[in-house]
Amino acid sequence: MFCVINLRWCKRFFRILFLFAFLWGAINLFFPREHLAIIKKYSAQYNVETTLILAIIHAESKFKATAISNKGARGLMQLSKSTADWAAKEIGLQNYSYEQIFDPQINIQIGCWYIEKLFKQFDSFTLAVCAYNAGSGNVTKWLQKYSLDGKKLSYIPFKETRDYLKKVVRYKKIYDFLFSVFDKR
């Protein structure tokens, strides 16, 4: 009797263990956290949330370090040449060239610096994320045309940016949940 009960318990235990392993694999497949040490380092240095950087990378490149957009933006955080070159100069990166933008260390550092700059400029999560996608010049124009108070947008005229904002917000919520359950920031 004791052996039968233990055998049943063992089978249940291993089924549950298998289920958790499967779920953990699925979570990591659909919501990767590659380059997490680099992301944590630069998100802390530039005072932006780690989960926001993960969400932006997921939305921009799906964690493909060699990604190139149809507009020529490159790397994990999809940085244009002009933005990356300007940021590298502002940060003071030594011996920088745009060809290095595929390096996760450089790409994430520049991307974190840039999103922090947008947060300082707009003092708003929504506006900073929109500016990351559409450019700060466009967001500044939109605030003049589509805002009652000059601080919040009542309308985002670019469908791509509306969709991008929704995607980043959704991914950030998922990463926030995953970090609350599996990771101690």
Instruction: Give the angle subtended at the CA of 141 by the CAs of 116 and 42, to the nearest 5°.
Output: 10
DSSP code, position 98: G
116 is catalytic: no
Half-sphere exposure of 23 (CA within 13 A, CB side): 8
Helices and strands, counts by H and E, the chain: 8, 0
Catalytic residue among 60, 90, 99, 116: 60
Contacts with 132 (C-beta within 8 Å, 6 or more apart), sequence order: 56, 114, 115, 118
In the chain the first and final C-alpha atoms are separated, in Å, by 47
**Which residues have a catalytic role annotated?**
60
